[in-house]
Amino acid sequence: MKKINIAAGLVLGVIATQSFALDMGSMLKSAAPAAAQSVAPQTTATLQNNALVNSLGSSLGVTPTQAVGGTAALLNSAKSKMEPAQFSQLTAKTPGLGDMLNSAPAATSVLGSTTVENQFKALGMDSSMIGKFTPIIVNYAKGYVSPEIVTALTSALAL
């Protein structure tokens, strides 16, 4: 009888463990949209009408959440590689970039400090999308900032 109880306990333990297993992929994919919903409605509407978000969406087929999150991930990476004054001018003069950094559906808040590749994956995108985002972001910035800042941004985004 003891053998049956032990065997039954082990089987139930395995079943319970499998039933409650943490599916990180699903959790991360669902976290980005949930984080986007926590952004103030006026900020979300402003960002969804942003030319960069629209360009990324139409060129790459990404959602507004992915466009904002991917841009924020790349800009956060570039921030540490640019002079603070240049980065400040970039975000102040280029419409929407500062808002994207402040209200992104932060893969970084979900994952903590992590790589750009992991942030893109958390947003449901393959890391190959990083190379597709970069020229679109640089071309967008060209219309608003000096050539020196564009050069600094281009260098900083060379991952």
Domain locations in the chain? 24-157
> Global pTM?
0.69
Distance (Å, rounded) from C-alpha 124 to C-alpha 113? 18
**Percentage of the chain exceeding pLDDT 90:** 50
Mean pLDDT of 30-36: 43
101-152: pLDDT as tens digits: 887 654 445 545 578 998 899 889 999 999 999 999 999 999 999 999 999 9
Residue 16 has pLDDT above 50, yes or no: no
Residue 140 contacts residue 134 (beta carbons within 8 Å): no
Q: Which letter does DSSP use for residue 113 in this model?
A: S
Average pLDDT, the chain: 76
- For residue 30, name the pLDDT band (cuts at 50, 70, 90): very low
Q: Which letter does DSSP use for residue 11 in this model?
A: H
How deeply is 92 buried, as exposed, middle or buried, from its count of CB atoms within 10 A (0-12, 13-18, 19+)? exposed
Q: Which letter does DSSP use for residue 85 in this model?
A: H
111-114 LR contacts (CB < 8 Å, sep 24+): 111/28
Residue 35 has pLDDT above 50, yes or no: no
